[in-house]
Structure 1
Amino acid sequence: MQPIELSAIPPRETAPGYSGRFIHTAGMTLAYFEIKAGSASPEHAHVHEQVSQVLEGVFQLTVSGEPVILRPGAVLVIPSNVPHSGLAITDCKLLDIFNPVREDFRK
């Protein structure tokens, strides 16, 4: 078993201002995002349970219409099929964990 170097994974833009590096296991996807201030993710929902942690910066997640401000160290769990959106208040680094695997992030 070898460690994975994030810097060796080519980043991919998933939305304007969202650059991600993805690690896929048998049952989950880890998404390391760098997000530019002011970049927004429109409201959406997916079958994946999502755990979001802010590593750097300030990020707003709106879950079922309720905005929550997240700062470094904060973790928020978004259940499966719950509508949510995001907004980078500052430049941010986030770790999002999805279960099951985000096949759309493999492409």
Structure 2
Amino acid sequence: MQHLDNIKGKEIVPGYFGRFVHGEKITLSIVDIKKGSPLPEHRHPHEQVTFILEGELEMIIGGEKMVLTAGTTHVIPGNTPHSAIALTDCRVLDAFSPVREDYRID
């Protein structure tokens, strides 16, 4: 058992600070995002499920622009280009499968 406050985190890109829990086949990511912070377009082989805990996050997923608000979720298939910008301070829960090895912290 772990408490979020005790999980070591890292800045993913400027304005995006994540804490990560890794299972055998999945990574759970809790990300705090500062208002106005952009996440450049990228893609990865992992399937991603994004759930907005707090705030408003504008995303472009596979060319479709949408605003995700607290309580909304979206599935992003692997290798789908996506980007984001925080319209407010946000807290986001992301699940990735398979495990995001690049998010491991020693």
Task: Tell me the TM-score range normalised by the shorter chain.
Answer: over 0.9
Aligned to 1:16: 14
Q: Secondary structure at the match of 1:104?
A: helix
Aligned to 1:106: 104
Aligned to 2:32: 34
Give the aligned residue type for 2:42.
Answer: H
Counterparts of 2:101 and 2:52 in 1: how far apart (Å)?
23
Give the aligned residue type for 1:31.
Answer: S
User: Over aligned residues, Cα RMSD in angstroms?
Assistant: 0.7
Counterparts of 1:34 and 1:91 in 2: how far apart (Å)?
8
Identity %: 49
Q: Secondary structure at the match of 1:7?
A: helix
Tell me the CA shift for residue 65 of structure 1: 1.4
Counterparts of 2:62 and 2:20 in 1: how far apart (Å)?
26
Counterparts of 2:92 and 2:80 in 1: how far apart (Å)?
19
Aligned to 1:62: 60
Question: What stretches of structure 1 of length at least 5 have no aligned partner?
Answer: none
Alignment length (residue pairs) = 105
Question: What stretches of structure 2 of length at least 5 have no aligned partner?
Answer: none
Q: Which aligned runs of 4 or more in structure 1 are off by greater than 6 angstroms?
A: none
Work out whether 1:51 is the aligned partner of 2:40: no
Tell me the CA shift for residue 11 of structure 1: 2.2
Tell me the CA shift for residue 12 of structure 1: 0.8
